[in-house]
Structure 1
Amino acid sequence: MRDEYGRTIDYMRLSLTDRCNLRCRYCMPAEGCTLTTHTDLLRYEELLRVAQAAVSLGITRFKLTGGEPLVRRDAAAFVQALKSLPGVQQVTLTTNGLLLPPLLEPLLQAGLDAVNISLDTRDNAQYQAITRSRYTADEVLDAVRLCAGRLPTKINAVLLPETATQLIPLARLAQELPVDVRFIEQMPLGSAAAAIPPNEPCTASILDRLRTVWPQLAPVHQARGNGPAQYFSAPELQGCIGLIQAVSHSFCSHCNRVRLTCTGLLKPCLCYAEGVPLLPLLRSGAADNRLREQMRQAIAHKPAAHCFARREAITEYHNMNQIGG
């Protein structure tokens, strides 16, 4: 369907959980945060009902997020159930990759179409400091290598001041493997917002640095997913390098997505707290047409743009694990 600004909304991010096996410092505070109780978490059948309503409104592509979605049991079975809904064209997954290896075969059999794996550095000590964990970057890279060539795989790297020297090492993964590597500006949300200097980081100099290694790096004029990344390729690369400039270069005029949190809040825009709570409808016995109408209203009135450039206007104060990754 189209919102009031004429944008086609055909993509929904579904959060399976707010739990995670990491404590990435840009996602949640070191001490963690209050987690959703089992009672308040959307059941799989409730997620499927929302997805069915979404499909009836023109949404055909779904991304499963968290927290870390694979910490929730039976994620592969849910992928299969979601992919089986009439009208669903694509189901993809965003993960930190650590739980992925033993689940990859079941996910592939379930029909998973693509995977995004988060990795901000190839340095093991730095990875442990960023994620506040004992896991290593090498473990994530094992998952990347397992996926590469078997299904479309993207690496998501958040741009952080301390990982500036990791730009080229991470980008080299697109040369070593048939994967896309995407560099993402950190968004000023949740507990990490205060630590981000205004207008920093910015991707303005990223291409210049990348072209010192790949001088023929040039824009790719083809869709490589559902998101707003701008992609570049070079003859030496098996994959592409992408930039997601959510803060410095607004792509809101082309936004095609909405988000559903694991507690059932349908969020039309990431940086605003406003949304439509679907959990009460789902558990009150409301008819499907009432659920669809509430979702239609939320989508139709999606805000024109985010307000990351005006931090005082941001009304969303939850951490990224609670919002839906």
Structure 2
Amino acid sequence: MEYLYDQYQRKHDYLRLSITDRCNLRCVYCMPKGGMTFFPRDQVLSQDEIIQLVKNFVALGITKVRLTGGEPLVRRDVVEIVRRIHEIPEIEDISMTTNGLYLSRKAHELREAGLDRLNISLDTFKPEVYKQITRGGNIRQVQMGIAAAAKEGFKQIKLNVVLIKGQNDDEVLDFIRYTKDHNVNVRFIEFMPIGNSEEAWSSEFVSLANVFDQCKAAGIDYRPIRLPGNGPSDNYQVPGYQGSFGLIHPISGRFCENCNRLRITADGYIKACLYWNEEINVRETIGDFEKFRQVIQQALDNKPLNHEMALSDTDQIVHEAPTWRHMSQIGG
């Protein structure tokens, strides 16, 4: 079996695959205020294209797949996509990132189809703040989705919390205390300047050092732990708590050194780096494995060691233009 390496000898065995750019929310860190013009449906990868693409990646050493969006659960054939990926013997882990709005009606089917792990976006416990951050979402639907998922025996459930100054940074301890009685991993994520102006981003950015500061002030003890999975988070647990919390710091910390991820957008482009503009059309090569392999390796050969969001050494910058896509069009 072949394996995928970039020029820095990072082995890539993890695919993040966007199956739609559509979403039923308009989160402030993911979409512009005026919303998005979504791709025509024929511009989005078909189910058969998705499955063949995954099989091609398996032949190149990929063993883990995460389905993203947009919001993957708005796609009507999402359960069948999970089932068909699960039937590929070499795939060891299938996960999904979702906003959870449709999860109460889909959790059982997804688990039966072979979905292993879930990441659910929940940036606040306050209904009004949730409505502001998501521009109209109903937090009750997400809470029902989390409860439904907890009953299905997924290998792991994570809650993604993007910290935003003045909106939810006062809830850090609430989320940590939530892990006392809930076996979830709460992941605090720094707000990234993707699709946002520098001024807007800098006014809302919160360093994750804030999490430790709040724990110290509240007298909350914690210890580092290791969790299974593919994410870049540093994880911790309060002694005696069922769950844990993690920190993902693309701005203030080391985010890229061990990057093993490749991203495929819903319209069939490969992005080897989340932040940079470079992307290559891979859709037209899905039926020709040799051309497919060449395109994937080309993307890896151009992958930078780090992205501008965390770079102090500008000599490491390979592609100076940041991505034109909003986060909802990449899948995170």
Relative distance call for 1:44 and 1:192 in structure 2 (3 A) is farther
* Preserved contact between residue 263 and residue 271 of structure 2 (Cα < 8 Å): yes
SS at match of 2:209: coil
Map 1:1-325 to 2 at 5 A.
1-133=4-136, 135-148=137-150, 150-151=153-154, 152-161=156-165, 162-191=167-196, 194-197=199-202, 200-213=205-218, 215-220=220-225, 222-282=226-286, 286-309=287-310, 313-325=320-332
Q: Is the 8 A contact 1:14 1:261 kept in 2?
A: yes
Displacement of 1:38: 1.1
**Structure 2 CA distance for aligned equivalents of residues 20 and 192 of structure 1:** 22
Change over 3 Å in CA distance of 1:62–1:193 after alignment to 2 = farther
SS in 2 for 1:14: strand
1:57/1:296 contact within 8 Å kept: no
The Cα of 1:281 is off from its aligned counterpart by 2.6
Displacement of 1:175: 1.3
* CA displacement, residues 71-120 of structure 1 (integer Å, 9 cap, x when unaligned): 00110110010111131111100000010111111101101000000000
Partners of 1:108 and 1:41 in 2: CA distance? 25
CA drift of 1:294 comes to 1.5
AA of the residue aligned to 2:105: P
The amino acid that maps onto 2:269 is L
Q: Gaps (5+ residues) in structure 2?
A: none
Unaligned runs of 5+ in 1: none
TM-score normalised by L of structure 2: 0.91
CA gap of 1:32–1:199, structure 2 versus 1, over 3 A, is closer
Instruction: Report if aligned partners of 1:25, 1:192 keep a CA contact under 8 Å in 2.
Output: no
- Matched residue SS, 1:196: helix
Please report how far the alpha carbon of residue 224 of structure 1 lies from its aligned counterpart in structure 2 after TM superposition: 3.0
Cα pair distance change 1:136/1:213, threshold 3 Å:
farther
Superposed CA deviations along residues 111-137 of structure 1, whole A, max 9, x for unmatched, are 10000000000000010011111x332
Instruction: Label 1:236 to 1:212 Cα distance change in 2 as closer, same or farther (>3 A).
Output: farther
How far did residue 249 of structure 1 move? 0.5
The 3 A distance-change label for structure 1 pair 199 and 128 is closer
How many residues matched? 320
CA offset digits 1:237-258 (Å, max 9, x no partner): 1111100001111221111101
Change (3 A) 1:74 1:193: farther
C-alpha separation in 2, matches of 1:137 and 1:8: 39
Inter-CA distance 313–290: structure 2 relative to 1 (3 Å threshold): closer
Return the offset for 1:300. 3.9
Q: Does the CA contact (< 8 Å) of 2:188 and 2:246 recur in 1?
A: yes
CA contact (8 A) 1:26 1:192 kept: no
Q: State the one-letter code of the partner of 2:51.
A: L
What secondary structure, in the 3-state scheme, does the structure 1 residue paired with 2:12 have? Answer: coil
Partners of 2:11 and 2:255 in 1: how far apart? 14
* 1:131-188 Cα distance to aligned partner (Å, 9 max, x none): 111x332321222222226211000000101211111112222112111101000110
Q: Counterpart of 2:140 in structure 1: which amino acid?
A: D
Query: Could you tell me how far 1:214 is from its partner in structure 2?
Result: 5.9
Deviates more, 1:26-35 or 1:254-263: 26-35
Q: 1:297 deviation in Å? A: 2.6
Q: Sequence identity of aligned pairs in percent?
A: 37
Separation in 1, partners of 2:127, 2:271? 35
Which stretch of structure 1 is more off in the superposition, 188-197 or 20-29?
A: 188-197
Task: Tell whether the 8 Å contact from 2:254 to 2:310 is kept in structure 1 after alignment.
Answer: no
Q: What letter corresponds to residue 216 of structure 1 in structure 2?
A: D
- Displacement of 1:194 after TM fit? 4.1
* Rounded Cα–Cα distance in structure 2 between residues aligned with 1:111 and 1:235: 32
Give the partner amino acid of 1:138: R
> For residue 168 of structure 1, what is the amino acid of its counterpart?
L
Distance (whole Å) between structure 2 residues aligned to residue 62 and residue 320 of structure 1: 19
